């Protein structure tokens, strides 16, 4: 899989790595594609430094690459994932004998909660939800999408895959990562928005296996369309934060924790395999607590 014409050595090793993760690790297609994009971008960065062999890569090259992504405005979670991808690559290269020393084992991996994701306030969520025009088919659909993303904390890929029979009056049947199924409660407002959309704009769809959310042409919505839709309504609501569909998931978990929900319950609702992944929301919630204290502490300001 040639990336840059004059980097045949790295190209060959990159191709071997993609074959490895595709066949031996059994990763999902989306994960493999993320690995491919991350390493392809890394290889292009190395080319700018005239590095043609992975054996010549230094700690500074990796840090410089991540710093370049950060300067371009990449989300912290993306930087974290990219770093882990590079680690997997170098572990593979060491195993295959391409390199003698895995330089990434000496680099401290940033803890996931060091990359605190953007979280909306309750008021910002309400402003976002208020933007779609529910008298319109697309606006009605968009409002239901935003309501469900926030009230149930779904991943955008999980929402895109929903069919009509996956939701009843109390819960959503969600197929998460690895094909694992879980039941997630649906909020009253989200259910009302969904019912409005289905009754007023999807009444002709009798098949319960039909996708819930469709485009103007009737095909299932995809994650790119939802990402663009969220960005549009964020502009309409004058929200200055960097918001994506995943921001609503982060906001859902953080607001639950702020209101006393048990971390194990949040883990189940989010479909996290381990409590460690969910635990980062404790750090987000504590950050909000600190900011609130600093803003409203009686000792703040002049006497």
Active site residue 249: yes
Return the H-helix or E-strand segment holding 185: strand 181-185
Annotate 279-303 with DSSP letters as a single string: HHHHHHHHHHHHHHHHHH-TTSS--
Cα R_g (the chain), whole angstroms:
22
- Is 246 a residue of the active site? yes
**Is 72 among the residues known to form the active site?**
no
Residue among 201, 255, 272, 280 flagged as catalytic: 272
**Are 43 and 10 in contact, with CB atoms under 8 Å apart?**
yes
From the list 141, 143, 202, 249, the catalytic residue is 249
Q: How far apart are alpha carbons 294 and 303 in whole angstroms?
A: 16
List the Cα angle 154/291/296 in 5-degree steps.
125
Candidates 81, 155, 250, 280; catalytic one: 155
Considering 141, 143, 246, 250, which one is annotated as catalytic?
A: 246
Counting Cα atoms < 13 Å in the Cβ hemisphere of 74 gives 18
Instruction: Based on the residue annotation, tell me whether 177 is a catalytic residue of this protein.
Output: yes
Specify whether 255 is catalytic: no
The active-site residue out of 87, 177, 189, 283 is: 177
Site of tokens 């090793």: 13
Active-site residue, selected from the candidate residues 35, 150, 197, 281? 281
Active site residues: 155, 177, 246, 249, 272, 281
């Amino acid at each position: 899989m040639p990336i840059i014409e004059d980097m045949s050595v790295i190209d060959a090793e990159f191709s071997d790595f993609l074959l490895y993760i595709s066949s031996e690790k059994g990763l999902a297609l989306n994960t493999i594609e993320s690995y491919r994009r991350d390493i392809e971008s890394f290889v292009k960065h190395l080319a700018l430094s005239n590095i043609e062999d992975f054996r010549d890569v230094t700690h500074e090259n990796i840090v410089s690459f991540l710093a370049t992504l950060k300067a371009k405005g990449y989300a912290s979670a993306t930087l974290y994932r990219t770093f882990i991808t590079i680690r997997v690559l170098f572990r593979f290269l060491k195993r295959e004998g391409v390199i003698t020393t895995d330089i990434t084992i000496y680099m401290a991996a940033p803890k996931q909660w060091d990359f605190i994701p953007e979280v909306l306030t309750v008021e910002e969520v309400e402003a976002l939800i208020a933007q779609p025009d529910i008298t319109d088919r697309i606006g009605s659909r968009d409002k239901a999408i935003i309501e469900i993303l926030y009230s149930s904390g779904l991943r955008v890929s999980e929402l895109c895959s929903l069919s009509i029979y996956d939701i009843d009056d109390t819960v959503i049947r969600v197929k998460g990562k690895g094909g694992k199924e879980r039941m997630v409660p649906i909020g009253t407002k989200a259910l009302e928005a969904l019912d409005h959309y289905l009754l007023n704009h999807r009444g002709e769809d009798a098949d319960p296996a039909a996708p819930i959310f469709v485009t103007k042409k009737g095909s299932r919505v995809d994650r790119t369309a939802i990402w663009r839709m969220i960005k549009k309504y964020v502009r309409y609501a004058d929200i200055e934060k960097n918001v994506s569909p995943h921001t609503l998931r982060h906001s859902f978990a953080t607001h639950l924790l702020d209101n006393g929900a048990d971390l194990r319950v949040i883990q189940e609702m989010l479909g996290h395999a381990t409590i460690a992944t969910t635990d980062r929301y404790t750090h987000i919630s504590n950050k909000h607590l600190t900011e609130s204290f600093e803003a409203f502490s009686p000792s703040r300001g002049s006497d």
